[in-house]
Amino acid sequence: MYEIYRVGPADTVESIAASFNISPSNLYQINGFTPDYVLKPNTNIIVPKVKNTYFEYYTIKKGDNLYKIAKEYNTNPNLLAILNGLEVDDYIYPNQTIVVPLKDVGVYITQEGDTISGISKGIGANINSLLNQNPQIYLMPEQIIVYKEK
């Protein structure tokens, strides 16, 4: 799930976090850094093992709610709630981190009776592409299936 990353001369917490699609605060947290920590070249830090190509991390700010965040990311607040194990009207706290779909990423939540071909037709995605992007589809209700939108 995580791997060691050797810090380069031009690296910053922000640049490394961006390259792994995580928030800087998440990178600070993973490594136990304080907010004033300065990276030194050739030191090792912990980063996610695989770059996330479907989601990014968003750190809640004072005054945020799922509706406001969903509007900002052009997604659905109910989807944000499901992805983060929340109810749509749950209170979210400043500095809490949630995941949001990246631009051009679609998310489908499976339902009872779904088939791969039905999902494929419904979202307008090629079956092989859908299977390549989701290596473990069980078609159990509420499974998350992601796909790159055209």
pLDDT single digits (tens) 28-84: 888 988 888 889 999 999 987 656 678 888 889 999 999 999 999 999 999 999 988
Residues 68 and 36 occupy one common structural domain: no
Residues 82 and 95 occupy one common structural domain: yes
Residue 98, strand partner residues: 58
Residues 6 and 35 occupy one common structural domain: yes
pLDDT of residue 51: 60
Of the candidates 48, 45, 42, 14, the one whose C-alpha atom is nearest the C-alpha of residue 32 is 45
Residues 6 and 38 occupy one common structural domain: yes
- Number of structural domains (the chain) is 3
Cα separation of 139 and 116, whole Å? 8
Element (H, E) at 123: helix 116-123
Other CB atoms within a 10 A radius of the CB of residue 55 amount to: 18
Domain span at 77:
58-101
What's the mean pLDDT when you consider all of the chain?
Answer: 87
pLDDT digits (tens, 9 = 90+) for 77-115: 999 999 888 999 898 989 888 889 988 899 999 999 999
pTM comes to 0.63
Query: Is residue 53 situated within a structural domain?
Result: no
Of the candidates 64, 57, 5, 62, the one whose C-alpha atom is nearest the C-alpha of residue 26 is 57
The least confident of 38-47, 85-94, 120-129, 134-143 is 134-143
Q: What CATH number does the domain containing 79 carry? A: 3.10.350.10
